[in-house]
Amino acid sequence: TKSGISKIYFVELPKDVQERFHYNPANAAAYTAAQAFAKPGLAGRGQPVEIISHGTQVDINQHLALGYVTIVDFYADWCPACRWLSPRLEQMAASDPQIALRKIDIVNWKTAVARQFTIDSLPQVSIYNRAGQLIGTVSGADIDQIKSYVAQAKARG
């Protein structure tokens, strides 16, 4: 940013300092969601890319797209591998009507969602079949392994 404060450091500041700079997590989440929907080609034929959390705990079962293979991407804006993988996952969702992409921004290692899902490396991608059963989890930007789990999820219903 122009001020030289990156997101990772900013969110770790005390709340009163964040408020002085007018940082509002709800507004940040709404902005990110609006940006995701505004980008052409990110919606996979009726299944929009959905950012479901910015560091807060989440009930993943409420966000699975039953009837579709759901890819859940745990990422952070400051993670280079995440920035490499993200457009590739979005392209998979855009080109395959059977895939729904859900994204969870862990924000930093200390957030509730990072602890909830025991995120110890990024990116981390979980693939669920059409019935909502976890098929596999990939740690790292291994797109071939992700595609393999997606194929398994399609085959298992």
CATH architecture of 7-155: 3-Layer(aba) Sandwich (3.40)
Q: What count of other Cβ atoms lies within 10 Å of the Cβ of residue 40?
A: 6
pLDDT of the residue at 58 = 78
Whether 1 shows a pLDDT value over 50: the answer reads: no
pLDDT of the residue at 154 = 92
pLDDT of the residue at 139 = 93
- Main-chain dihedrals φ then ψ at residue 95, nearest 5 degrees: -95, -10
The sheet with strand 124-128 has its strands ordered as 50-54, 99-105, 69-75, 124-128, 134-139
Per-residue pLDDT tens digits for 82-120: 999 999 999 999 899 999 999 988 888 888 888 888 888
**Domain range summary for the chain, segments of one domain joined by +:** 7-155
Per-residue pLDDT tens digits for 48-74: 777 777 777 778 888 888 899 999 999
Per-residue pLDDT tens digits for 3-46: 555 554 556 666 665 565 555 666 666 655 555 554 444 444 54
